[in-house]
Amino acid sequence: MTKTEFVAKVAEELEVPKTVAAETVDAFLKVTTDLLKAGDKVTFPGFGTFDVAQRAARKGRNPQTGAELNIAASKNGKFSAGKNLKNL
């Protein structure tokens, strides 16, 4: 499902114009992204949790040359499904 299709479903569910639904979806994505950038966790009981995962620095290999290289530490967004979502 694309974002456009998702917005259409939200508009249908809320019985609002697609422009209002698109603004709502965009606001949700912006707020969630901003909270994750700040290091916060976003939890929706029964649905799931958006969190930031830390990846440690590690050594890797270039598959073409076999040369060893250093991969820097990084942060990644992750989603953990809640109980109700897992039971679907």
The pLDDT of residue 37 is above 90: yes
Q: Count of domains in the chain?
A: 1
pLDDT score for 88: 86
Residue 57's domain spans which residues? 3-86
47-85 pLDDT, tens digit each: 999 999 999 999 999 999 999 999 999 999 999 999 999
pLDDT score for 32: 95
CATH number at residue 21: 4.10.520.10
Q: What is the mean pLDDT of the chain?
A: 94
DSSP 56: -
pTM, two decimal places? 0.77
